[in-house]
Structure 1
Amino acid sequence: MNFEEKKRKNRRKRGQISPEDISSYVDLPTEGLVEMLQGTDPQKRTIAAVILGDLGDERGILPLCSALTTEKSLYSRIAISEALSKIGEPSVAYLIELLGEIGKNQETMLPDHYFKKKSFPLVRDMAGRTMVQIGKPATPYLIDFLESSDEFKVQQALDVVGAIAAKTGDRRALNPLLTHLERETRDCRGSDGVTLWKIIRAFSGFKKSEKAVDPLLEILERDYPPPIIWETLRTLGQIRIATPQVRERVGSFINNEQPEVRVAAENAWKLLGFAP
């Protein structure tokens, strides 16, 4: 067996399928597909997820959500997520309950490094990532969920809100985010700063949002940890509203002693179109 054959075999062990693999199962009833989804063969789990998604049968939501929490095979997990996103809005209420529950990939502390890419950061939470694919229909549910008392879950919802705004241009969450920001800075909730950092990052998905500029400038006037400052600078660059006030505050950080803050200020300066 050569190297490429080994790679194909390994991918199939992880649940990868071809279109031809599906044809024998398309006439199975939903109950049979759910049974396949719960089986031991990762390829059959992928096949079941693909067909359930194509059917759009809401009876598949709970079994798919359950499978999403336990699936270890990469291609099967992707297929399950895509199936739920295809079913769409009916999946959202169930996915919100899974925020913060799948895996350990979510951020739990402020970052050590500035995020240099121009795109909105990939949502780490698997349930959240699935809702990003659902897009605008998920936004009203997420807005309501921002009032939850479970801060860790709310942090994941903030990522999703920002990612959906960046992807679709949906601005309905802007005012709720502003309210959340005002409350977070006033009450000092989340003393580790992660919630505030995620709110700031979420605003980066709202291009040309004038309402967000002044509250972000106020953050730059305060004595926050460097990750809060560099995320605020990055978000101002992403929003791309170049006012004299923005120019003054961003420019004041270009020679900052903290290197990540300095890089963030330089990148924001360029994105805002200010002359060198």
Structure 2
Amino acid sequence: MSNKQEQLENRGYLETGIDSQYLNSSFEQKITLLRSKIATERTLGARLLKEDKGAKTTELLINALKNEKKLYPKIEICNTLSTFSPLVIPLLIECLGKIGTNQHKKIPEKEFSKDSYPLPRDIASRTLIRIGDKAIPELLTALETTDMIALSELIDTIGHINFNFKTKNIYKPLQSCYYRNTADEVITWKIIRAFSGIQESEAFLKKLYSEVKKDGLKREIKRSLRLIELNKK
């Protein structure tokens, strides 16, 4: 085995198709794999559990996601969870901002230069994005939360899904959220970013540009307005 292969396996990488040899595994065997000390076996367990949709499996996978440290088992857990809609949506919302430490804590100094929507850093958010616009109603309801860490990831999730699916009736909830949280720069910055996919927000953003003082917010407003104009064409 090459060093590269060994490194991949240590991180839990498992080739596509290997799971076909284990399709007759019992539910208990799959859970044993998911809880294995061997990363590749955890990847296999998560992959096999796609066929066992239900509340118990969802809870086990969510708990596994919270504790998993290796890359590939984590990816496979998310792959499986994303197929468990709508059952998994509220549980993933509860996880927003609570897994990992890579979430934004402040406005970045460097602007995101691409015309796409930046992929959130939060793993629960990324999984909800894979579910798509079916998650939007519950995400909008959750905007009422007073948990600022969760709210920050909620906004990212809504913004990303809307940018790609063009969902309806999200401007007003996000605008209300903005007004409730004007003292929090990260929250307002993320809402401004989310507005980049909502043409209805154009007038609000232009007004906001003349009011805000922070350079990071002004940069994001300009970027959102540019993308709105680009998407009109």
TM-score normalised to structure 2 length = 0.93
Equivalent residue number for residue 99 of structure 1: 96
Equivalent residue number for residue 262 of structure 1: none
One-letter amino acid of the counterpart of residue 92, structure 1: I
One-letter amino acid of the counterpart of residue 189, structure 1: A
Instruction: Quote the RMSD (CA, aligned, Å).
Output: 1.7
Equivalent residue number for residue 6 of structure 1: 3
Equivalent residue number for residue 117 of structure 2: 120
Structural mapping, 1:256-271, within 5 Å: 271=230
- Aligned-partner Cα distance in 2 for 1:51–1:167: 29
Say if 2:225 is the partner of 1:233: no
For residue 53 of structure 1, report the CA deviation from its aligned partner. Answer: 2.1
Equivalent residue number for residue 203 of structure 1: 195
Structure 2 spans left out of the alignment, 5+ residues: none
- Aligned-partner Cα distance in 1 for 2:13–2:129: 23
- Aligned-partner Cα distance in 2 for 1:178–1:272: 20
Say if 2:59 is the partner of 1:66: no
Identity %: 31
The 8 Å contact of residues 158 and 198 in structure 1, kept in 2 or not, is answered as yes
Structure 1 spans left out of the alignment, 5+ residues: 241-270
- Aligned-partner Cα distance in 2 for 1:18–1:42: 13
The 8 Å contact of residues 99 and 157 in structure 1, kept in 2 or not, is answered as yes
Say if 2:202 is the partner of 1:213: yes
Match of 1:44 among 20, 32, 41: 41
- Aligned-partner Cα distance in 1 for 2:169–2:36: 41
One-letter amino acid of the counterpart of residue 204, structure 1: S
Equivalent residue number for residue 53 of structure 2: 56
For residue 93 of structure 1, report the CA deviation from its aligned partner. Answer: 0.6
The 8 Å contact of residues 30 and 59 in structure 1, kept in 2 or not, is answered as no
- Aligned-partner Cα distance in 2 for 1:52–1:119: 32
For residue 272 of structure 1, report the CA deviation from its aligned partner. Answer: 8.0
SS of corresponding position for 1:19: coil
For residue 155 of structure 1, report the CA deviation from its aligned partner. Answer: 0.7
The 8 Å contact of residues 30 and 60 in structure 1, kept in 2 or not, is answered as no
The 8 Å contact of residues 13 and 43 in structure 2, kept in 1 or not, is answered as yes
1:54-110 Cα distance to aligned partner (Å, 9 max, x none): 443442111111111111111111000111001122101111111111111100111
Say if 2:176 is the partner of 1:189: no
The count of corresponding residues between Structure 1 and Structure 2 is 232
One-letter amino acid of the counterpart of residue 33, structure 2: M
Equivalent residue number for residue 159 of structure 2: 162
The 8 Å contact of residues 52 and 60 in structure 1, kept in 2 or not, is answered as yes
SS of corresponding position for 1:195: helix
CA gap 1:37/1:172 in 2 versus in 1, 3 angstroms = farther
- Aligned-partner Cα distance in 1 for 2:171–2:103: 23
CA gap 1:197/1:76 in 2 versus in 1, 3 angstroms = same
For residue 183 of structure 1, report the CA deviation from its aligned partner. Answer: 3.4
The 8 Å contact of residues 16 and 75 in structure 1, kept in 2 or not, is answered as yes
